Amino acid sequence: MRLRYQLTGGLLLAIGIPLLARMALEPRIVLSINIQVTITAAAIAHVMGYAIYRRLDSFPGVATFSTILPAFTLSYGLVFIIIFFFRLDYSRFQAAGSFLISTLWYFSLSAVSSRLEPARLAMVPLGSVERLSAVESVVWHPLHTPGIVPEKVQGIVADLRADLPESWLRFITSCVLSGMPVYHVKQVLESLTGRVEIDHLSENTLGSLNPNQAYIKIKQTIDWLAALIVLIVTSPLLLVLALLIRLESPGPALFRQERVGYRGATFTLYKFRTMRDGDDGSLAARDKAITREGDPRITRIGRLLRRSRLDELPQLINILRGEMSWIGPRPEAVVLSLWYDAELAFYPYRHIVRPGITGWAQVNQGHVADVDEVHEKLHYDFYYIKNFSPWLDLVIVMRTIRIMLTGFGAK
């Protein structure tokens, strides 16, 4: 019901306030065709924006404030592009006012709810629920005995794979029958941390990690068209960056490396060279493929390119060749992939989707190389595969833009 009140209140304010403001100056304006068209379009855009905002906000680690503006910008933009395309007359004042009030309304609701209503979950203190205490974004209420659920709790968390006593099983059953949600501990951890813990890949788990094949095809088409447009638009910038790289240090402007990609096939990845070219023979092949913090091989222009992620632009060629996507698990060098495959169970399963220039692991973790860090990265990769969708891709795009501006995770 609270969601309905949010949407109803937003619609009334976003449409009513601009309309009342116009009517104060022109009482008969409500009868004009352009106002009626604008009101209809604004209502559609508002509902669409609310749906997008709620869908994006369901992913972990996504601040509500960072989803409201993109969601309503997208919805209002699409609706009024259609109006412009069909050359329908509309009120710019009504449209702009509706957009502004829509975003302000949900910004205000988000600020109030984050202060007054933190997430509260009760947990059955048996099995592996101790891992939940590390999640600080939730107020946890341990249940000492099967009995009354604390007030204002939004659900019960239990390790449903543990051998629970009959008293707790009856308690969980009564909670379900009363309408209280009951969640498995692994499900809650995935939704709160954005990581899929890798214990084993049973038949059911393997099935749940199979990505949507239809979206793979649609995504590949969108990737190809976007890469072609970006390559044409940025070609002058690419030439300038290539020239700067050649002027600073000897060697080619492009760096080429064999990587493991879609379905385990190897391909040649292209990047702008950010390190000094040359091999003194003192490093093993695996160490050469790893970039460390403050690596002395990185050039001045290379450090700037890495921080802004502009060194990744030549991978547009890989997207056009069908070897990569804009978004997906980051492809590793062959020598590193063989190392990780030998150390980490199920590592090759990340190759079930095309590798990407950016991805869920990159926006959450940044650049990593050691086995322990890659194991954590694999948790994020599996979460992306399990939740493979345009909504998660949109979240990654928004967070990638923020990272390009801040330089998070660069080495």
pLDDT digits (tens, 9 = 90+) for 292-344: 666 678 888 988 888 888 999 999 999 999 999 999 999 988 988 888 888 87
127 CA to centre of own chain: 31
Q: What is the pLDDT of residues 206-231, one digit of tens each?
A: 455 567 778 888 999 999 999 999 99
Q: CA-to-CA distance for 371 and 287, rounded, in angstroms?
A: 13
**pLDDT, tens digit, 9 for 90 and up, residues 335-368:** 888 888 888 777 888 888 999 999 998 888 876 6
Burial of 272 (0-12, 13-18, 19+ CB in 10 A): buried
pLDDT at 29: 63
Decide: helix, strand or coil at residue 400.
Answer: helix
Q: What ranges do the domains of the chain cover?
A: 2-116, 119-193, 213-406
Hey, what CATH topology would domain 119-193 get?
Rossmann fold (3.40.50)
Q: What is residue 65's predicted lDDT score, i.e. its pLDDT?
A: 63
Average pLDDT of span 53-82: 80
CA distance 258 to 195: 28
Residue 401 is predicted with a pLDDT of 84
Residues 101 and 18: beta-carbon distance below 8 Å: yes
Cβ–Cβ under 8 Å, residues 381 and 244: no
Per-residue pLDDT, averaged over 270-282, amounts to: 74
Residue where the block lists tokens 């749940």: 208
- 249-271 pLDDT, tens digit per residue, is 888 999 999 999 998 899 999 99
Check residue 287 and give its pLDDT. Answer: 58
18-32 pLDDT, tens digit each: 888 877 777 666 667
Buried b (16+ CB within 10 A) or exposed e, 310-349: bbbbbbbbbbeeebbbbbbbbbbbebbbebbeeebeebeb
With pLDDT > 90 as the criterion, what percentage of the chain qualifies?
Answer: 24
Pairwise CA distance, residues 33 & 50, whole Å: 26
In terms of pLDDT, which residue wins out, 325 or 117?
A: 325
58 pLDDT exceeds 80? no
Q: Which tens digit of pLDDT belongs to each residue from 172-199?
A: 888 887 888 888 888 888 887 888 776 5
- To which H or E segment does residue 404 belong? helix 390-406
- In this prediction, residues 391-405 reach a mean pLDDT of 85
Model pLDDT, residue 286: 56
High-pLDDT (> 70) share of the chain, % = 85
Cα 335 to Cα 260: distance, rounded to the nearest angstrom: 9
pLDDT band at 203 (very low <50, low <70, confident <90, very high): very low
Reply yes or no on whether the pLDDT at 66 is more than 80.
no
In terms of Cα–Cα distance, which of 229, 400, 234, 225 is closest to 322? 225
Mean pLDDT, residues 49-74 = 78
State whether residue 124 is helix, strand or coil. Answer: coil
pLDDT of residue 178: 82
Residues ≥6 apart with Cβ < 8 Å to 223: 319, 325, 326
Pair 69, 120: CB distance under 8 Å: no
Return mean pLDDT, the chain.
83
The CA-CA-CA angle for residues 217, 221, 223, to 5°, reads 110
Q: What is the reported pLDDT for 355? A: 94
d(CA 347, CA 18): 55
